[in-house]
């Protein structure tokens, strides 16, 4: 049988690594709603707990339905494996805890999802981790940001909500020169538009709550490992700790050491595991992701063009428009599409934007993105409220910023409703 990793993204979305023969010949991926699994013998149990053999111990460590989702996401991103988590934030925190120690420094892009900013600025700072923020479109800022203690570079591809697309290859080249792993949050681009690993990233992160699920039904997160980063023992000692069975993680698992430690130690001890039912729904979402993303992006391009020509619109932020600051990077990395999010402001400022959001009918006022429905929100007062006004201004989250996550409705219906709401303000 052909190696399924050789198939196109569209086929991987539908099939993944799933083998019906191993699951009682069920055509659909089954939901294994079980918290524990039966052992053949005491030796079998010991082997599983020592992570010497494949199998399942307890839901916190793994589950067959979750495993199918992990394999599919890893295949889509071109990684050697992935670990699923209960939420995107759980995935990000677990990723950091897996290989960084208090006192280590993180260089993070200054245009990030608000929850990520909060984790870096508040929670991780309280735990003793240090973070500096840089403009991902200015490589010199990143160079000046890096110190001897910098152990991670973190960027977003199609940043939320400013839609900045970094030059991944340029940043990856610097990261490799400095022997620092590069992690890319690819949530909004999805593997359909871009594969950061193919451009030099060492890790890819996803909040699968968004376009992977695509229906606003679940929360979850993934960390995908490219298996390419060479962890130095002196700089990354946690990966050289003793693993179950005696040897250290690097000796025992080689290039899979990061994944094994994240599952066997961090996930086991912190408990942020993905629920099987969420994985089940996620797999259903993945099967149509490639079709949905095409429609999402086409709708967004039409609406962005309409907004850019509307006399009452002050500005539009969409990487498919030539005046966007990362248009060239978007052309380089996103495969001819530009994502399904739009930012824009109305003439008259914040008060006009509030009235637009409060009056809109077909569009939904809510926090999420990546749903089949079109969603709007005011980031400065909600998702990015934990940033100072100066930080928001610097990162492009202005007080008159309206974030729109474009859904799958008919684009003419959406444009008519948007035009009506703008005219009413």
Q: Which pLDDT tens digit goes with each residue over 161-180?
A: 999 999 999 999 999 999 99
CATH number, domain of 221, equals: 3.40.640.10
Are 100 and 217 within one domain? yes
Q: Tell me the C-alpha distance between 37 and 59, whole Å.
A: 8
pLDDT band of residue 383 (cuts 50, 70, 90) is confident
Is residue 32 within 8 A of residue 276, CB to CB? The reply is yes
Q: What is the pTM of this model?
A: 0.95
Are 131 and 262 within one domain? yes
Are 96 and 244 within one domain? yes
Say how many domains are in the chain.
2
Q: pLDDT > 90: what percent of the chain?
A: 90
Which pLDDT tens digit goes with each residue over 235-277? Answer: 999 999 999 888 999 999 999 999 999 999 999 999 999 999 9
CATH number, domain of 372, equals: 3.90.1150.10
What are residue 78's phi and psi, to 5 degrees?
Answer: 75, 30
Is residue 264 within 8 A of residue 258, CB to CB? The reply is no
pLDDT at 33: 97
What are the C-alpha distances in Å from 274 to residues 61, 262, 300, 381? 10, 14, 31, 30
Q: Tell me the C-alpha distance between 192 and 336, whole Å.
A: 11
Q: Which whole number is the average pLDDT over 111-126?
A: 95
pLDDT at 387: 75
pLDDT at 1: 38
Are 244 and 302 within one domain? no
Enclosing domain of residue 237: 9-278
| Cα 189 off chain centre by | 9
């Amino acid at each position: 049988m052909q190696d399924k990793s050789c198939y196109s993204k569209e086929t991987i979305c539908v099939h993944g690594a799933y083998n019906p023969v191993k699951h009682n010949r069920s055509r659909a991926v089954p939901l294994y709603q079980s918290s524990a699994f039966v052992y053949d013998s005491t030796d079998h149990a010991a082997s599983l707990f020592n992570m010497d053999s494949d199998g399942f111990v307890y839901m916190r460590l793994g589950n067959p339905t979750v495993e199918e989702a992990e394999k599919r996401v890893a295949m889509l991103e071109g990684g050697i494996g992935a670990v699923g988590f209960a939420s995107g934030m759980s995935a990000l925190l677990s990723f950091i805890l897996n290989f960084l120690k208090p006192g280590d420094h993180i260089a993070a892009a200054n245009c990030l999802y608000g929850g990520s900013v909060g984790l870096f600025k508040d929670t991780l700072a309280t735990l003793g981790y240090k973070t500096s923020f840089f403009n991902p479109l200015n490589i010199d800022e990143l160079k000046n940001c890096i110190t001897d203690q910098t152990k991670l570079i973190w960027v977003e591809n199609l940043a939320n909500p400013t839609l900045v697309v970094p030059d991944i290859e340029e940043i990856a080249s610097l990261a490799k020169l400095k022997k620092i792993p590069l992690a890319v949050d690819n949530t909004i681009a999805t593997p359909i538009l871009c594969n950061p690993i193919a451009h030099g990233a060492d890790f890819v992160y996803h909040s699968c709550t968004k376009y992977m699920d695509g229906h606003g039904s679940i929360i979850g997160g993934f960390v995908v490992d490219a298996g390419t980063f060479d962890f130095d023992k002196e700089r990354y000692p946690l990966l050289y700790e003793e693993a179950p069975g005696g040897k250290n993680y690097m000796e025992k698992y080689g290039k899979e050491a990061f994944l094994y430690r994240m599952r066997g130690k961090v996930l086991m001890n912190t408990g942020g595991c993905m629920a099987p039912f969420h994985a089940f729904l996620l797999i259903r979402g993945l099967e149509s992701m490639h079709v949905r993303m095409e429609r999402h992006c086409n709708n967004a391009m039409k609406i962005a063009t309409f907004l850019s020509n509307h006399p009452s619109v002050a500005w539009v932020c969409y990487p498919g428009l030539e005046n966007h600051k990362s248009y060239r990077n978007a052309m380089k990395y996103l495969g001819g599409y530009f994502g399904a999010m739009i930012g824009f402001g109305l003439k008259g400022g914040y008060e006009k934007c509030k009235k637009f959001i409060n009056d809109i009918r077909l569009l939904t006022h809510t926090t999420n993105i990546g749903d089949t429905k079109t969603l709007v929100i005011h980031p400065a007062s909600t998702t990015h409220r934990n940033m100072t006004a100066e930080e928001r201004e610097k990162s492009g989250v202005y007080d008159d910023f309206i974030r729109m996550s474009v859904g799958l409705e008919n684009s003419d219906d959406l444009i008519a409703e948007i035009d009506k709401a703008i005219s009413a303000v």
